[in-house]
């Protein structure tokens, strides 16, 4: 069963985030706390949304998908970025990943989102195989860019304008 995550799912989602990070060989980077996730998913201004996959027999949460909306200046529409898709090892091959993706694709169509995008590590052959079977395009000409730590702080020190007002209305 695929369903919208609830606040009660936060501990399980956090655990699966750490499991995913371990699978992706970067567990030390998975620092999000339950409090941060609760605020991001269920606070006054959600930053992201999540679905969970439950085992039909046991009701155990065996996977999740976490996504957030994007905006395309080219199409003038929102799109979806899938940040995480994870199914626990014991439940893989049971159709949970495909069902999570199908639920998200249905949301995209209902909401008028023209794009549904995500990243995949180049060595994750099982995931790549699934995505190819769905007809996903692989955008080899695009590169992911990221600023973190000192380079982010250095560039920020050069900025003066705020991109939009802070929540308290400060410009």
Q: Which residues are catalytic?
A: 131
User: What pairing do the DSSP bridges indicate for beta strands 49-54 and 61-72?
Assistant: antiparallel
User: What does 34-76 look like in DSSP terms, one character per residue?
Assistant: HHHHHHHHHSSS-S-EEEEEE-TTT--EEEEEEEEEEEETTTT
State the Cα–Cα distance between residues 50 and 7, nearest whole angstrom.
10
How far is the C-alpha of 171 from the C-alpha of 166, rounded, in Å? Answer: 6
């Amino acid at each position: 069963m695929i369903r919208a995550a609830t606040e009660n799912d936060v501990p399980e989602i956090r655990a699966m985030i750490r499991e995913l990070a371990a699978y992706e060989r970067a567990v030390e980077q998975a620092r999000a706390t339950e409090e941060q996730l609760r605020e991001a998913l269920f606070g006054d201004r959600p930053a992201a949304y999540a679905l969970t996959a439950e085992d039909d027999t046991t009701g155990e949460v065996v996977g999740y998908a976490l996504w957030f909306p994007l905006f395309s200046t080219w199409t003038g529409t929102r799109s979806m970025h899938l940040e995480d898709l994870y199914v626990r090892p014991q439940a893989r091959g049971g159709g949970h990943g495909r069902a999570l993706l199908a639920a998200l694709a249905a949301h995209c169509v209902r909401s008028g989102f023209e794009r549904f995008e995500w990243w995949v590590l180049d060595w994750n052959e099982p995931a790549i195989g699934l995505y190819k079977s769905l007809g996903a395009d692989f955008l080899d000409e695009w590169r992911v860019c990221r600023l973190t730590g000192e380079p982010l702080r250095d560039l920020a020190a050069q900025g003066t304008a705020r991109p939009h007002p802070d929540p308290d209305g400060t410009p």
